[in-house]
Structure 1
Amino acid sequence: MSDLVVTQIRSAIGNKPVHRGTLRALGLGRIGKSNTLPDRPEIQGMIRKVAHLIRVEPVEGA
């Protein structure tokens, strides 16, 4: 199974509380912070919910 690097690129200020909670669940909290997560359906759903706030890249060389 592959991994994804998720990086927050926009602020959560002004977004719905559900979106802020989703960012927290992804391990993000401020602009520029990154987290490596497994590519699972649950994670993909969270990524789709906050796609306007994050950048997703595949992990290379894993």
Structure 2
Amino acid sequence: MAQLKITLIKSAAHRLPKQRKIVKEFGLNRISSSVIKPDNAATRGVIFQISHLVSVEEIKD
């Protein structure tokens, strides 16, 4: 199953509270921090909401 590497490239400060919450729940604390999440519809939907703050790379097994 493919996975996604999500990296925070812009600060979540001064953003909508919902966007800050998403960044925090993903575990992205600082700029350049990364997490690996499964590639599914739910994850992609959440990434779409904060796409201007993160970069996404596909990791294939």
Say how many residue pairs are matched: 61
- TM-score under structure 1 normalisation? 0.91
- Amino acid paired to 2:44: Q
User: SS at the partner of 2:51?
Assistant: coil
User: SS at the partner of 2:43?
Assistant: helix
**Identical counterparts, % of pairs:** 34
- TM-score under structure 2 normalisation? 0.92
Q: Cα offset for 1:30?
A: 1.2
Return the alpha-carbon distance in structure 1 between the equivalents of residues 24 and 43 of structure 2.
Answer: 12
1:20 paired to 2:20? yes
Task: Give the structure 2 partner of residue 37 of structure 1.
Answer: 37
Q: Cα offset for 1:33?
A: 0.3
Q: Cα offset for 1:37?
A: 0.5
Runs of 4+ in 1 over 3 A off after TM superposition: none
Q: Report Cα offsets for 1:19-40 as digits up to 9, x if no partner.
A: 0111122221210000000001
Return the alpha-carbon distance in structure 2 between the equivalents of residues 19 and 26 of structure 1.
Answer: 11
1:48 paired to 2:48? yes
Return the alpha-carbon distance in structure 2 between the equivalents of residues 10 and 40 of structure 1.
Answer: 24
